[in-house]
Amino acid sequence: MKDIWGKIKTWIEARPLEVGLGGIALAVFGITFGVVGLASRGEPSESPATTTTTEIVAETTEPAQPGDPVTSSTTEPVESGAARIAVRIDNAPDARPQVGLGAASLVVETPLEGGMTRFTAYYLPGTAPVVVGPVRSVRPVDADLTAPFATTLVATGGQPFVLQDFAPAGVALAMPETAPGFQALERPSPYNLFVNLEQVEAVYPPTPVDEAGLPEGDLPGGADAATVAVPFATEIGWEYTDGAYVRTEGGEPFMVLPDLESESAQYAADTVVVVFAAQRSAGYTDGNGVDVPTFDVIGQGRLLVFAGGKVVAGSWARSAQEDPYRFFTESGESFGIPPGRTHMMVVPRELEVGY
């Protein structure tokens, strides 16, 4: 531990101007712009934003090795109308291992340009780890996806025409310019920005949504499905082990950190939901000139739900941005998913998911 704090001290002493200015800048932003980006639901409390100083924290854990014990879900069932706070989390190789991803009651994963994916993690009050990240920007599909699940989304920013879609959706954006709690860790930029959710929730208290965003209930009987293979640019796999689906990417265990002081563990979910949606261009390109995709997540499409080592094939439907998802079997009967940690993947409708 002394060696770790020694490294931190050395880093800070070598960059006094950066650390000092970072703290001042975030303090000014937190006070001056704390009321920006509010929506009709999920507005911040009347108390002024608390100031925060950027902290430089060294990573202190060694990744676990394949074959180490995996963590399973202990999350309580999500009740209809539950209040959640959402965080946009990166999934680039340099962003791993993510911190706090495994504590989310729901994680929604969407493809990005370049074949990568990005997560939106949803936390119930009192269940989120203090530090979560790395935090990244929003994409055009995020307003449609966030509206049924949360009233506050933590992100680093986004294109102006994308940001303006959140207030009409009833979602407040907590960003470095509008919220306290953002911290820089010793990771490569831009994968080094993390957030203290306790500080964010003090200014943006989560407000209950009207309904649970996903239907709840008992999964109808389905076919055996011990493994799942999603053929993105890097294949994402799930294997049913010890009552949960554990995740791999590129054939390697997908490891996450519960917090900054614990050992990493393989990411797992009780239920994996695959939503097939039409992919189209968002109308702009990224910094490398690659077309940015978006997805039609309002409407209807094919559906696969994996839970308990079984799979149910069917369809999803949702008629408006504020509406929750509805699930139907192939015979047209509505159904819900069991309680526990849920991971929802939005994939192009032409993609063939193996199981």
> Full-prediction pTM beyond 0.85?
no
- Say what angle helices 2-14 and 16-32 make with each other, to 10 degrees: 80
Q: What is the pLDDT of residue 286?
A: 84
Task: Provide the percentage of residues in the chain whose pLDDT is more than 70.
Answer: 76
- Is the preceding omega at residue 190 within 30 degrees of 0, hence cis? yes
Residue 186 CA to residue 190 CA, distance in Å, equals 11
Q: What is the pLDDT of residue 63?
A: 30
Residue 265 CA to residue 26 CA, distance in Å, equals 32
Residue 177 lies in a domain: no
Instruction: Dump pLDDT digits (tens) for 99-138.
Output: 999 999 999 999 998 889 999 999 988 888 999 999 999 9
Q: What is the pLDDT of residue 210?
A: 66
Task: Provide the percentage of residues in the chain whose pLDDT is more than 90.
Answer: 69
Residue 71 lies in a domain: no
Q: What is the pLDDT of residue 18?
A: 37
**Which position has the higher pLDDT, 1 or 245?**
245
Contact, 244 vs 267, CB < 8 A? no
243: domain CATH number? 3.50.90.10
Q: Domain range for residue 295? A: 223-348
Instruction: Dump pLDDT digits (tens) for 60-114.
Output: 223 333 333 323 233 333 344 578 899 999 999 999 999 999 999 999 999 998 8
Instruction: Dump pLDDT digits (tens) for 211-256.
Output: 679 999 989 989 999 999 999 999 999 999 999 999 999 999 999 9
Whole-number average pLDDT of the chain: 81
Residue 253 lies in a domain: yes
Q: What's the mean pLDDT in 24-49?
A: 35
CA 275 to chain centre: 16
Tally of domains in the chain: 2
Instruction: Dump pLDDT digits (tens) for 327-347.
Output: 999 999 999 999 999 999 999
Residue 259 lies in a domain: yes
Q: What is the pLDDT of residue 212?
A: 79
- In 3-state terms the chain splits into helix, strand, coil percentages (rounded to 5) of 15, 35, 50
Q: What is the pLDDT of residue 128?
A: 86
Dig out the tokens for 351 from the structure. 């993609």
Residue 203 CA to residue 67 CA, distance in Å, equals 41
Residue 281 lies in a domain: yes
Q: Could you give the 3-state DSSP secondary structure of residue 69?
A: coil
Residue 154 lies in a domain: no
Contact, 274 vs 303, CB < 8 A? yes
Q: What is the pLDDT of residue 173?
A: 97
Contact, 355 vs 306, CB < 8 A? yes
CB-based contacts of 5, cutoff 8 Å, min separation 6: none
Q: What is the pLDDT of residue 81?
A: 58
Instruction: Dump pLDDT digits (tens) for 139-182.
Output: 999 999 999 999 999 999 999 999 999 999 999 999 999 999 99
